[in-house]
Chain A
Amino acid sequence: QVQLVQSGAEVKKPGASVKVSCKTSGYTFTHYAIHWVRQAPGQRLEWMGWINAGNDDTKYSQKFQGRVTMTRDTPATTVYMELNSLRSEDTAVYYCARITDNWSGTDVWGQGTTVTVSS
């Protein structure tokens, strides 16, 4: 079955970087794009951007432009999200999610990765 499995929890200091992985399986990796969405404690879902695993195109939310990089490793069927210059407000659960083939929603989600930023 289709699965997205994310890397484990991270604890980082302010100013550091974090790189979260999302290992996909059960479908043709290059046929879909992947969102990254985060959720701070008790807060709304926040869209960060997407990467098209087929052609490596990316699109980032203006809020994260310049601070986030999304990449892919096609042989490993894995996508990555790296966030730089971390601050306490970046403490959140980070999700990867597969975008449907008509780009209208996200049908499969990873389990989430908790990133804690604390001095």
Chain B
Amino acid sequence: EIVLTQSPATLSLSPGERATLSCRASQSVSSYLAWYQQKPGQAPRLLIYDTSNRATGIPARFSGSGSGTDFTLTISSLEPEDFAVYYCQQRSNWPPMYSFGQGTKLEIK
């Protein structure tokens, strides 16, 4: 099973700052890496799929990059509504199996 490790566990920033979240896989996941945002009491929301593609309706300040085992979610300029927990998710080759990282909490400094 592929293990995803996210860092940092908690990131404290102010609105307007740039956020960089990391996700490292225990083995290569090719480009099958997605990012989700989750707010308290809500279901997760898909932000990025296939490493760098924004999901429908996701603002351009969210971007994803990486390949193989190292991936990054960047939020270029934080808005108040961006403070939440972020999870990465990988998908293996066919038949697809999935797993999530442990999450990064993005909190207001």
Contact = CB atoms under 8 A, between A and B. Distances in A.
Interface stretch (B18-26, B41-49, B71-79): B41-49
Interface residues of A, number: 24
Contacts of A107: 46, 55-56
Interface string B76-108: 000000000001010100011111111100000
Nearest to B45: A109
A57 B94 CA distance: 12
Contact of B43 (A62, A105, A110): A110
Nearest to A112: B43
A9 interface: no
A47 B100 contact: yes
A61 interface: yes
Interface residues of B, number: 26
Contact of A47 (B32, B55, B98): B98
A103 B49 CA distance: 10
Nearest to A107: B46
Interface in B30-77: 32, 34, 36, 38, 43-46, 49-50, 53, 55-56
Nearest to B97: A59
A104 B101 CA distance: 16
A111 B43 contact: yes
Interface of A: 35, 37, 44-47, 50, 57, 59, 61-62, 95, 97, 100, 102-107, 109-112
